[in-house]
Amino acid sequence: MASKKPHAAPRQAAGALESGLVIAAHGRHYLVQAGEQKLQCVTRGKKSDVSVGDRIRFARTSPNQGVVESIDERKTLLYRSDQYKSKLLAANVDQLFIVVATEPSFSDDLVSRSLVAAESAGVSAHLILNKTDIEEALPKTRERLQVYARLGYPVHEVSATARPDETRAAFLPLLAGKSTILIGQSGMGKSSLINLIIPDADIAVREISAALDTGKHTTTFTRLYQMDEATSIIDSPGFQEFGLYQLSEGMLERAFRDFTPYLGKCRFYNCHHLSEPGCAVLEAVQSGEIAGLRHQLYAQLVHESSQTLY
Ligand SMILES: Nc1nc2c(ncn2[C@@H]2O[C@H](COP(=O)(O)OP(=O)(O)OP(=O)(O)O)[C@@H](O)[C@H]2O)c(=O)[nH]1
Ligand SMILES: [Zn+2]
């Protein structure tokens, strides 16, 4: 049948969708890598449940634009949330690298929350201690990180600016064959590390920024750099809070790996580990086997999860 619009692009047959990888997100606008091409994609309506790292199916609406039709099944999903809504951080990552530094001082609360997010998403977590060249602050920082090292989280010491070659050499084998997200508070040196690992990062960011029309706010969006077919690294904006309102109490107790040996050993099978008599977790806190700070965070997160309004 002759078309009335001879110049219109041929209509895609239903099901003729293309697939791509979401490499940046800004609001409901996504940059999608499909083969050699980068396309701007939007979601239908007000949905914004697509994350950087997602593999998606899209329908092309113009040579360099598309509409997201579906999201492939995710291996993992990292997200945070406050009382009102959740915010996706990254999909399909294998590991989370939490960047801290000798200076400025980092927040234990944010580190611990990030670890809980990783545990509950089934993502392995590492700590990256940057700026080890600031020697005055090194012993104290190392001591602060002991609590995480004792829990079995690897701690890697690097210095992006003072020992760039060693730092790069330390990173590459950790990243190989995996998808990694780097997170950290502002000022820890996350951008310096990304620039070491991805020498063209600045150019890529400018490109993405132009494609997504993010204006000058180049650091306010999450982006993925594909290093080779099997290796990618995701840079996310610095953050100041890490709400985990989405995690239920059951998920929380399992996300504290230091609680694991005691779960199921409390007097009451439905123990909340907050003030119950005969609580094995509280006894471990008393005896020092579980750090007090960790239990305080658990109690805070249980409180938060009871406040969810969505
Ligand atoms: N001494 C020292 N300074 C470093 C090192 N790495 C980064 N810095 C400095 O720390 C400051 C912050 O580094 P950035 O890479 O911008 O930090 P960031 O974590 O990306 O911070 P935001 O961009 O604010 O999110 C800069 O002045 C860097 O030069 C390091 O290994 N040693
Ligand atoms: Zn208990």
- The enclosing H or E element of 192 equals helix 190-197
- When comparing pLDDT for 283 and 218, which is higher? 283
* Residue whose structure tokens are 């959740």: 86
pLDDT exceeds 70 at position 4: no
What is the model's pLDDT at position 239? 76
Ligand found nearest the CA of 285: 2
Query: Does 273 show up as a binding residue in the annotation?
Result: yes
Specify the pTM: 0.91
Average pLDDT over residues 19-41: 93
Percent of the chain that is helix, strand, coil (3-state, to 5): 30, 25, 45
Class of domain 77-235: alpha beta
What is the model's pLDDT at position 2? 42
What is the model's pLDDT at position 86? 84
Break the chain into its structural domains and give their ranges.
18-71, 77-235, 249-305
Ligand found nearest the CA of 190: 1
What is the model's pLDDT at position 74? 98
Residue nearest to atom 13 of ligand 1 (CA): 189
Distance from residue 259's CA to the centre of ligand 1 (Å): 35
Q: How confident is the model at residue 15 (pLDDT cuts 50, 70, 90)?
A: low
Question: How do residues 144-157 score in pLDDT, each as one tens digit?
Answer: 999 999 999 999 99
Q: How many CB atoms lie within 10 A of CB 38?
A: 17
Which of 132, 161, 217 gets mutated to test ligand 1 (max ligand atoms within 8 A of its CB)? 161
Q: What is the mean pLDDT of the chain?
A: 91
Q: CATH homologous superfamily for 249-305?
A: Probable gtpase engc; domain 3 (1.10.40.50)
Average pLDDT over residues 132-137: 98
Q: How far is CA 116 from CA 57, 112, 119, 140, 236, in A?
A: 31, 6, 5, 24, 18
What is the model's pLDDT at position 90? 97
| 18-71 to CATH, choices 2.60.40.1290, 2.40.50.140, 3.40.50.970, 2.30.30.230 | 2.40.50.140
Query: Does 251 show up as a binding residue in the annotation?
Result: no
Question: How do residues 253-290 score in pLDDT, each as one tens digit?
Answer: 999 999 999 999 999 999 999 999 999 999 999 999 99
Residue nearest to atom 24 of ligand 1 (CA): 186
Please give the full DSSP string across 98-142, using - where no structure is assigned: EEEESSSPPPHHHHHHHHHHHHHHT-EEEEEEE-TT-GGGHHHHH
CB of 80 closer than 8 Å to CB of 219: no
Distance from residue 292's CA to the centre of ligand 2 (Å): 15
Q: How confident is the model at residue 5 (pLDDT cuts 50, 70, 90)?
A: very low
What is the model's pLDDT at position 207? 83
- When comparing pLDDT for 201 and 13, which is higher? 201
Distance from residue 255's CA to the centre of ligand 2 (Å): 15
Residue nearest to atom 26 of ligand 1 (CA): 189
Query: Does 260 show up as a binding residue in the annotation?
Result: no
Question: How do residues 57-87 score in pLDDT, each as one tens digit?
Answer: 999 999 999 999 999 999 999 998 888 888 8
Residue nearest to atom 1 of ligand 1 (CA): 131
Q: How confident is the model at residue 217 (pLDDT cuts 50, 70, 90)?
A: low
What is the model's pLDDT at position 6? 45
* Ligand 1 pocket at CB < 6 A: 130-131, 133-134, 159-162, 184, 186-192, 219, 238
Closest atom of ligand 1 to 130 CA is: 31
Question: How do residues 159-196 score in pLDDT, each as one tens digit?
Answer: 999 999 999 999 999 999 999 999 999 999 999 999 99
Average pLDDT over residues 79-102: 93
What is the model's pLDDT at position 196? 95
pLDDT exceeds 70 at position 14: no
Q: How confident is the model at residue 201 (pLDDT cuts 50, 70, 90)?
A: confident
Query: Does 217 show up as a binding residue in the annotation?
Result: no
Which of 191, 233, 236 gets mutated to test ligand 1 (max ligand atoms within 8 A of its CB)? 191
What is the model's pLDDT at position 1? 42
Q: Do domains 18-71 and 77-235 have the same CATH topology?
A: no
Q: For residue 102, give both structure tokens.
A: 């000798």
